[in-house]
């Protein structure tokens, strides 16, 4: 077991104010693999005070952009040097397969960081505008001290998405990592120390909901950037509204993939593993509602069930494993509870179920599960399950499919399968989500990511992601 005794506060290792600790448990063995300090209100205040001082009293936010780019490039180099450690840690904590960890949990953050560096070089930080009456300068200045609060499912992706654009804009940042993912957060802290950032610019805290609440409520925070559940997002938005501080929320999803009657079903089957079962289903953008034409309903149900039944469940470090364990016993029980609920609601269980896999007596495993004969008013079709559970819903025609896709409190992502580009774009333009894919779903680091409705406020990635960390200032009369 790896034991950490200090927190990264203001860029330096510091003793915590209390003896509270958090254990990280390996998802497939249920063994404690690491222990970390639990940040208290006092530790949060120390981190925010250091960030406030670095923003208000040093030249970090006003120095030439190239110097901040150089700092981020040092982070990228140090992160790349620890890629293997990070991938192994995240597979152990989260339960994702080692292949996904290398590509989606470590490779993706590196790409995100580099993408932001490339965009920063051409971003319009300051531009001349003619104005209606007088010419003016439009400046984009840093929003200030940022609280970056992330969940456990893709921890380094979500940290990179917030930390790097904030740093490039000239902000200082306090990262609050999820307690389930403390090991990769500690490795990130070591990466940041190796990158030799100026004092106070970044802190990394491990802690539970109390630490997050203290960070959100702290008057020294200018903006909260949060990824997590809609319920927690609402509470954060309320507190930020009370203080009139900026807030960005990337919340849940219940995304629909619409299979049109001319779809290539072989391509659909091949893509389903990645669009709907990514990260063991622990992904906010997973396509978990499959909308199938009534005329082909049985065929598509069989196709979805066949994919799910063929996914190997087991040790995430073993080659060939497609579905690893859930991140925690609580999450496993939550997902299994939804499977039981689906049966109670009258949906037909086609494959999977709430019982443990016969060959996995240890670990927080859930069998890939598919429900048919589902109506869109069932809870399993409306609520985010966050596990390897899909529902297949029939529709009458294209308009009906779009109506069902939009009949959700969420609006994060979606996709359509068709061989007609015209039909694909017609559907994409009418589904009310922040991101949409044609014949598959895969986010792009330069395309805005975020949602409509209860899926959040604001956008991440690309130029939109940089915009989240700036204030606009107009200067005229020159």
Q: Which residues are catalytic?
A: 250, 284
Say if CB 443 and CB 158 are below 8 A apart.
no
Is residue 197 exposed (0-12), middle (13-18) or buried (19+ Cβ within 10 Å)? buried
DSSP per residue over 208-261, as a string?
-HHHHHHHHH-TT-SEEEEES-HHHHHHHHHHHHHHT-EEEEE----EEEEE-T
User: Hey, how many other C-beta atoms are within 10 angstroms of the C-beta on 302?
Assistant: 16
CA triple 206-25-363, angle to 5 deg: 145
d(CA 166, CA 465): 9
Q: 344: part of which helix (H) or strand (E)?
A: helix 329-345
What single-letter DSSP state applies at residue 86? H
Phi, psi of 203 (to 5 degrees): -125, 150
Contacts of 118 (CB under 8 A, 6+ apart): none
d(CA 288, CA 113): 29
Helix, strand, or coil here: 461?
Answer: coil
CA distances 356 to 97, 314, 333, 359, 380, Å, are: 18, 11, 11, 8, 20
Tell how far CA 23 is from the center of its chain: 22
Helix (H) and strand (E) counts in the chain: 16, 23
Question: Which two structure tokens, joined as six digits, stand for 290?
Answer: 């499959």
d(CA 13, CA 85): 20
Q: 35: part of which helix (H) or strand (E)?
A: strand 32-37
Question: Which two structure tokens, joined as six digits, stand for 441?
Answer: 């779903």
Helix, strand, or coil here: 466?
Answer: helix
Say if CB 244 and CB 224 are below 8 A apart.
no
Q: Which residues, in sequence order, are bridge partners of residue 35?
A: 3, 23
């Amino acid at each position: 077991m790896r034991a950490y005794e200090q927190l990264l506060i203001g860029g330096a290792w510091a003793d915590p104010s209390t003896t509270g600790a958090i254990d990280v448990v390996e998802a497939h063995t249920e063994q404690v693999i690491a222990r970390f300090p639990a940040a208290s209100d006092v530790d949060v205040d120390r981190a925010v005070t250091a960030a406030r001082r670095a923003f208000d009293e040093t030249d970090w936010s006003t120095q030439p952009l190239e110097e901040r780019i150089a700092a981020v490039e040092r982070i990228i180099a140090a992160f790349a040097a620890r890629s293997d450690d990070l991938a192994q840690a995240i597979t152990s904590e989260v339960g994702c397969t080692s292949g996904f960890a290398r590509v989606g949990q470590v490779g993706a953050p590196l790409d995100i960081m580099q993408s932001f560096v490339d965009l920063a070089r051409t971003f319009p930080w300051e531009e001349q505008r003619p104005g209606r009456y007088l010419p003016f300068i439009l400046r984009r200045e840093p929003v200030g001290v940022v609280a970056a609060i992330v969940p456990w499912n893709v921890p380094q992706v979500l940290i990179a998405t917030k930390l790097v654009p904030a740093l490039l804009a000239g902000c200082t940042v306090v990262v609050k990592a999820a307690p389930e993912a403390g090991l990769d957060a500690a490795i990130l802290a070591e990466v940041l120390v190796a990158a030799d950032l100026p004092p106070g610019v970044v802190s990394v805290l491990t802690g539970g909901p109390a630490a997050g609440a203290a960070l959100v409520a702290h008057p020294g925070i200018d903006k909260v950037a949060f990824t997590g559940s809609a319920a927690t997002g609402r509470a954060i938005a309320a507190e930020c509204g009370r203080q009139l501080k900026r807030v960005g929320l990337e919340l849940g999803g219940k995304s629909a993939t619409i299979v049109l009657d001319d779809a290539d079903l072989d391509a659909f089957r091949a893509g389903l593993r990645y669009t709907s079962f990514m990260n063991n289903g622990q992904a906010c953008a997973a396509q978990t509602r499959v909308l199938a034409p009534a005329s082909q309903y049985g065929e598509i149900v069989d196709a979805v069930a066949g994919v799910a039944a063929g996914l190997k469940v087991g040790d995430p470090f073993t080659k060939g494993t497609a579905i690893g364990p859930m991140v925690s016993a609580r999450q496993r029980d939550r997902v299994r509870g939804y499977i039981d609920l689906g049966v109670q609601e009258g949906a037909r269980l086609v494959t999977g179920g709430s019982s443990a896999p016969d060959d996995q007596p240890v670990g927080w495993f859930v069998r890939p599960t598919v429900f048919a004969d589902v109506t869109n008013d069932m809870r399993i079709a409306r609520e985010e399950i966050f596990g390897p559970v899909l529902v297949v819903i029939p529709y009458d025609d294209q308009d009906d499919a779009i109506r069902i896709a939009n009949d959700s409190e969420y609006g994060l992502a979606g996709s359509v399968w068709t061989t007609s580009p015209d039909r694909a774009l017609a559907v994409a333009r009418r589904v009310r989500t922040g991101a949409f894919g044609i014949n598959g779903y895969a986010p792009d680091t330069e395309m805005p990511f975020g949602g409509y409705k209860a899926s959040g406020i604001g956008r991440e990635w690309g130029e939109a992601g940089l915009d989240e960390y700036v204030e606009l200032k107009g200067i005229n009369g020159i």
